[in-house]
Amino acid sequence: VAVSKPMSYQASSPDEVAIVKWTEHVGVVLAERTLSTITLRLDALLPEEQRGHGTAPLLTYDILQVFPFTSESKRMGIVVQSRLSGDMYFIQKGADAVMTRIVEYNDWLDEECGNMARDGLRTLVVGRKRLSRQAYARFEQAYSQARASVVGRAEAMRQAVADHLESDLELLGLTGVEDRLQDHVRTTLELLGNAGVRVWMLTGDKVETATCVAVSARLVRRGQLVHVISGLRSASEVSAALETLRTLGDCCVVIDGDSLQVALDFYRDEFVRIAAALPAVVCCRCSPTQKADVVRVLQQHTGKRVLAVGDGGNDVSMIQAADVGVGLVGLEGRQASLAADFSVDQFSYLARLLLWHGRNSYKRSAKLAQFVIHRGLIISIMQVVFSALFYFAPIALFQGMLLVGYTTVYTMAPVFSLVLDRDVSDEIAMLYPELYAELTKGRALSLKTFFIWLLISIYQGGALMMLAVWLFDTDFIHVVSISFTGLVLNELLMVALEIRTWHRWMIWSILGSLAIYVASIWVLPAYFDVMFILSAAFVWKTVVITAVSAVPLYIIKVIRRIYAPPAY
């Protein structure tokens, strides 16, 4: 196989790519990989200057069986047969926690795994077992029977592999791959911490690896205590660990999967209450099911919104269980990004997604929802006041096209232009993440703000209607003209009152809606007396009504900015 440029490899895991690149570096190159064969090129047998030209000898292996990786088994294996010698081998790699009991006894594996984990490396143990033809025939018979099972087929297949293959493997070696952090991860975590976001790291790595990654990512602040909880097996041990954790206060707790499961089984409420108050929690050796369980427990016992971020297939269940799921498009595939609500290329984009887009979305939605309520409530108040003044006569104040126009062309564009509003620039929002922390107090959308808008609607609707009746001339159509014109102008002024940062589309929407209303006066003679509207009486009466309903709110806004300005 001639090679004119460096090989590029694709795999389901970056660990596999790292191993294959290392074998290439030492002179054993993966030349070809099909569904049924593996071809290796032995460049190590050639002088340095002759390598890479396709003249090295080849070794071809037939693939007899493949056992893919699963989050439950935490290992993967393959059975191959050499075409040159006819020898059959079962080769398996997996996490040290499961491979330790599968490989032959040795006295160095645990120590080396710990050393690599403390350096922040993800460890994999590789083992091999030579199979005789009789042994493989027995396995194939049992495996075929398991695959033909109707009930419990997956478990039967796993059991066949465990009984016939997964025992007394020759330990080939231990690999350590650096799980390198993306750019700006540390800065992003610091911003989220300052924004009041509590960060939990859920990983399948060893305790030492997870601790090293948490420290390097600055999930653990400088000088902060790291408290490790591992190896708990009983309720009494969990109780003692929680009592110790309660006395430590501000620290980062690292807990392994087995201890986490015991804590959730016996002391769920107490554990979640204590852990949720900590600045950072690291849960290691977690299965995908445990990750999803942790998310659900936090939702149930804290009542807070939970956002889950993941980049691999093991994170899909956690992402789907969370209130908001964010998938990273990384080296481990697109399973997480396809299952998530939002997909980003870099973890650092999460800060802008929350602190800028998330903040704007919340504040704009709150303002728009309350303004839509106000827009519908004020016209209802005017109808109530009108009916009360005329002895509750069943007469509609605004009819036909006036109602349709009010909810559409007269006010819709200005009201919905509020989604373009922003109270601070994106630079300020990213520079001061504490602004995001204010959202957790719910002050932008609460019962208090609802009743404030309710009182505003009652005041403005009553003022518009009572002044229109008091100032009307002799005909009922004049009351409609004055009150409806004041209503439209009042809504446009209220939109302008709520805007913090003007956008050109806001200006065009207000001016355009006003122009449409003025033009419709001549188009709808059944609702407007054009001669009366062109008179000076109509102008000053409309100005008075609009001023009484809107100007006091402008005055209140100025006073609040002077004596109770916002934090920013």
pLDDT tens digit string along 208-250?
888 888 888 888 877 788 888 988 888 899 899 998 888 887 8
Average pLDDT, the chain: 87
Report the alpha-carbon distance of residue 371 to residue 449 in Å, rounded.
11
Higher-scoring residue by pLDDT: 178, 499 = 499
Q: Are 146 and 160 in contact (CB under 8 A)?
A: yes
Average pLDDT, integer, range 257-274:
90
Helices 153-164 and 133-147 pack at an angle, to 10 degrees, of 170
Please give the share of the chain, as a percent, with pLDDT higher than 70: 96
pTM of the model: 0.73
Q: What is the predicted pLDDT for the residue at 3?
A: 46
Q: In which element (H, E) is residue 324 found?
A: strand 324-328
- Output the CA torsion sign for 465, 466, 469, 472: negative
Count Cβ atoms below 10 Å from residue 376 Cβ, excluding itself.
Answer: 12
pLDDT of residue 106: 83
Using CA atoms, how far apart are residues 259 and 252, in angstroms rounded to an integer?
A: 16
pLDDT given at position 105: 85
Q: Name the pLDDT band for 8 (thresholds 50, 70, 90).
A: confident
Q: Nearest-CA neighbor of 11 among 310, 309, 330?
A: 330
The edge-to-edge listing of strands for the beta sheet with 170-178 is 28-33, 37-42, 58-67, 75-82, 88-94, 121-131, 170-178
d(CA 409, CA 405): 5
How far apart CA 180 and CA 96 sit, in angstroms, is 20
Is residue 67 within 8 Å of residue 152, measured between CB atoms? no
Report how many helices (DSSP H) and strands (DSSP E) the chain contains, helices first. 24, 14
> Reduced to 3 states, what is the DSSP secondary structure of residue 124?
strand
Tell me the mean pLDDT in the region 436-440: 85
pLDDT-derived band at 4 (thresholds 50, 70, 90) equals: very low
Distance, in Å, from the CA atom of 16 to the CA atom of 11, rounded to the nearest integer, reads 6
Task: State residue 182's pLDDT score.
Answer: 79
Beta bridge partner(s), residue 122: 177
User: Which of the four pLDDT bands, split at 50, 70 and 90, describes residue 124?
Assistant: confident
Residue 354 banded pLDDT, cuts 50, 70, 90: very high
- Number of Cβ within 10 Å of residue 5's Cβ equals 6
Query: Sorting pLDDT into bands at 50, 70 and 90, what band is 1?
Result: very low
Q: Highest mean pLDDT range out of 115-119, 328-332, 353-357, 479-483?
A: 353-357
**What would the mean pLDDT of 116-124 be, rounded to a whole number?**
80
> Residue 193: is its pLDDT beyond 90?
no
Q: What is the DSSP letter of 180?
A: P
Distance from C-alpha of 128 to C-alpha of 141, rounded to nearest angstrom: 21
